[in-house]
Copies of this chain bind each other. A is one copy, B any other.
């Protein structure tokens, strides 16, 4: 029997290039993985008009995890792949923990003058199956001066509490043991109150973990002025979308950002993917940096119960980044080979 059954969705643009390297690294640290490729994304959509056929969804469900490169290109109408593929997987597979770590890696420089490598090391635990992403909304009198359009944020105690629990569990395994709740309780009073009460209830079970609350606008500001202050941040789906891009920006851009859409109970496959997109402008040139895809593979390994392998992959990336000279030529495949060799050793 395979040690793990992984569905690989390489996707579009640089997706296949970076996923190819991530698979090298995966094979190096966890021999015996069974990987099956699925052709999904903009290319398939253009060719067949299909986004995610039910039969493919059913096959994906049979895997332990999904490794995704990047999907999309500028010619697909907004929403088609997002709602039809990425969000569909998050919702159908109940991936309620959207995990996004951000580190300012040794050997890298971020945009902030006063922050040194290793000083930023935070993880955002973003809710993945509720909020404004529920798809609850509509429009009346479309295309007339009387048009009204709505979007509804749906929040349940069930959905909010479970993701907060996950955040506290993760904080308990980290050094600083601190959780920051981010919301906008002063304006979104109904959802805000639910989040605040669920947070207080879970916090009461974890007296050893430090807690704080911030409004989303303040958190967006502090992520720029004092990102060092954060350890684990838990927040709703839309706030998490925005805050993780700021966290990526202050740690050197989305080029290095990894993510997991996780069902912690493993009742369904979780999905791991670099935060960067398909970058059609550099696709096919063999110059895409596979670091984010490889770091996403580390998250995958950790989720599947291989924390040592995950640690070795992460350390290989840290070593690779430390030793990179500014402007030294970097070929995607060479980086993958070095990472695989380092992680395996």
Q: Is the CB of A139 within 8 A of B193?
A: yes
In the complex, the answer to whether A87 meets B188 with C-beta atoms within 8 Å is: no
Q: Does A137 contact B (CB under 8 A)?
A: yes
In the assembled complex, A238 has its CB within 8 A of some CB on chain B: yes
**Which residue in B153, B158, B249 is a CB contact (below 8 Å) of A151?**
B153
**What residues make up the interface of A, taking CB atoms closer than 8 Å to B?**
78-79, 82-83, 87, 109, 111-114, 132-133, 137-139, 141, 143-158, 184-194, 197, 216-218, 220-222, 224-225, 238, 241-246, 248-250, 253-254
B187 and A137 form a contact (CB under 8 A) = no
Task: Provide the residues of chain B in CB contact with A155, threshold 8 Å.
Answer: 148-151
Q: Which residues of B have CB within 8 Å of A133? A: 187
Complex contact A150–B217 (CB within 8 A): no
State in angstroms the CA–CA spacing of A186 and B78 once bound together: 5
List 27 A-B residue pairs with CB atoms under 8 Å apart, sorted by A's residue number. A78-B186, A109-B113, A111-B113, A111-B224, A132-B153, A137-B153, A137-B188, A137-B189, A137-B191, A143-B197, A145-B158, A146-B156, A146-B158, A149-B155, A149-B191, A150-B155, A152-B153, A184-B238, A187-B238, A217-B242, A217-B244, A218-B245, A220-B242, A220-B249, A221-B245, A222-B249, A224-B250
Measured CB to CB, the nearest residue on chain B to A246 is B220
Q: Which of A113, A141, A146, A147 has the most CB of B within 10 A?
A: A147
List 12 other contacts, CB 8 Å, given A113-B113, A137-B153, A147-B156. Answer: A79-B186, A79-B189, A83-B189, A133-B187, A147-B157, A150-B153, A150-B154, A151-B191, A152-B153, A184-B238, A221-B254, A242-B242
Residue of B nearest to A213 (CB): B78
Q: In the complex, which residues of chain B have a beta carbon less than 8 angstroms from the beta carbon of A87?
A: 187
Report the separation of the CA atoms of residues A171 and B197 in the bound assembly, to the nearest whole angstrom: 44
Question: CA A51 – CA B243 in complex, angstroms?
Answer: 33
CB closest chain-B residue, reference A81: B186
A185 pairs with B111, CB closer than 8 A: no
Question: In whole Å, how far is A131's beta carbon from the nearest beta carbon of chain B?
Answer: 9
Distance between A229 CB and nearest chain B CB, rounded to angstroms: 13
Complex Cα distance A79/B183, Å?
Answer: 13
With beta carbons under 8 angstroms apart, the residue of B158, B194, B245 that contacts A220 is B245
Which residues of B sit under 8 angstroms from A144, Cβ to Cβ? 157
Name the contact of A132 in the complex, choosing from B79, B187, B225, B245 (C-beta under 8 A). Answer: B187
For A237, give the chain B residue with the smallest CB separation.
B187
Q: Are B217 and A245 in contact (CB under 8 A)?
A: yes
CA distance in complex: A186, B139 (Å): 16
In angstroms, Cα B113 to Cα A111, docked, is: 6
